[in-house]
Amino acid sequence: MRVHYFCRHCATKVGEIDGGLLTEEELGIHQLKENEKEEMITYRGNGDIQIQTICENCQGAFEENPDLHQYDFFIH
Protein backbone atom coordinates (compact mmCIF):
# COMPACT_ATOMS: atom_id res chain seq x y z
CA MET A 1 0.00 0.00 0.00
CA ARG A 2 1.21 3.48 -0.86
CA VAL A 3 -0.12 6.70 0.61
CA HIS A 4 -0.29 9.59 -1.87
CA TYR A 5 -0.65 13.18 -0.67
CA PHE A 6 -2.09 15.81 -3.03
CA CYS A 7 -2.87 19.48 -2.46
CA ARG A 8 -6.63 19.92 -2.30
CA HIS A 9 -6.38 23.38 -3.88
CA CYS A 10 -3.95 23.04 -6.80
CA ALA A 11 -3.72 19.22 -7.14
CA THR A 12 0.09 19.23 -6.84
CA LYS A 13 1.51 15.96 -5.56
CA VAL A 14 2.94 16.80 -2.15
CA GLY A 15 4.44 13.42 -1.35
CA GLU A 16 4.14 9.68 -1.24
CA ILE A 17 5.09 7.08 1.32
CA ASP A 18 5.14 3.32 1.38
CA GLY A 19 2.38 2.69 3.86
CA GLY A 20 3.16 -0.97 4.35
CA LEU A 21 1.36 -1.94 7.52
CA LEU A 22 0.86 1.58 8.90
CA THR A 23 -2.28 2.09 10.95
CA GLU A 24 -4.66 5.04 10.85
CA GLU A 25 -3.11 6.18 14.13
CA GLU A 26 0.40 6.17 12.65
CA LEU A 27 -0.84 8.16 9.64
CA GLY A 28 -2.76 10.58 11.87
CA ILE A 29 -6.05 9.75 10.17
CA HIS A 30 -7.66 8.80 13.48
CA GLN A 31 -7.67 12.48 14.50
CA LEU A 32 -10.07 13.40 11.70
CA LYS A 33 -13.84 13.53 12.13
CA GLU A 34 -15.88 11.20 9.89
CA ASN A 35 -16.95 14.00 7.55
CA GLU A 36 -13.32 15.16 7.25
CA LYS A 37 -12.26 11.62 6.37
CA GLU A 38 -14.92 11.46 3.67
CA GLU A 39 -13.72 14.77 2.18
CA MET A 40 -9.98 14.16 2.46
CA ILE A 41 -9.34 10.45 2.00
CA THR A 42 -9.90 8.19 -0.99
CA TYR A 43 -9.24 4.46 -0.75
CA ARG A 44 -8.19 3.00 -4.11
CA GLY A 45 -9.05 -0.47 -5.33
CA ASN A 46 -5.38 -1.48 -5.32
CA GLY A 47 -5.07 -0.71 -1.59
CA ASP A 48 -3.46 2.71 -2.02
CA ILE A 49 -4.74 5.71 -0.10
CA GLN A 50 -4.99 9.23 -1.49
CA ILE A 51 -5.05 12.03 1.07
CA GLN A 52 -5.86 15.66 0.31
CA THR A 53 -3.69 18.13 2.17
CA ILE A 54 -2.33 21.62 1.45
CA CYS A 55 1.01 22.38 -0.19
CA GLU A 56 3.41 25.04 1.04
CA ASN A 57 2.67 27.31 -1.93
CA CYS A 58 -1.08 27.30 -1.33
CA GLN A 59 -0.60 27.75 2.42
CA GLY A 60 1.57 30.78 1.72
CA ALA A 61 -0.96 32.14 -0.76
CA PHE A 62 -3.75 31.81 1.84
CA GLU A 63 -1.65 33.57 4.46
CA GLU A 64 -0.90 36.46 2.09
CA ASN A 65 -4.39 36.58 0.54
CA PRO A 66 -7.07 35.44 3.00
CA ASP A 67 -9.78 36.15 0.40
CA LEU A 68 -8.62 33.04 -1.49
CA HIS A 69 -10.43 30.89 1.09
CA GLN A 70 -13.62 31.46 -0.89
CA TYR A 71 -12.28 29.26 -3.71
CA ASP A 72 -12.13 25.46 -3.60
CA PHE A 73 -9.47 25.27 -6.31
CA PHE A 74 -6.90 27.68 -7.71
CA ILE A 75 -3.67 27.52 -9.67
CA HIS A 76 -0.48 29.14 -8.45
Answer whether residue 6 is part of any domain: yes
- 3-class secondary structure, 14: strand
- Number of structural domains (the chain) is 1
pTM of the model: 0.80
Q: Is residue 25 part of a domain?
A: yes
Identify the CA nearest to 68 among candidates 53, 57, 58, 56. 58
Residue 75 in domain:
no
Half-sphere exposure of 41 (CA within 13 A, CB side): 19
* Domain housing 43: 2-70
- Each residue's pLDDT, cut to its tens digit, for the chain (76 residues) gives 899 999 998 899 999 999 778 888 988 889 999 999 999 999 999 989 999 999 999 899 889 888 877 776 666 5
In a domain, 44, yes or no: yes
The answer to whether residue 76 sits within a structural domain is no
Q: Where are the beta strands (DSSP E) in the chain?
A: 2-7, 13-18, 41-43, 49-53
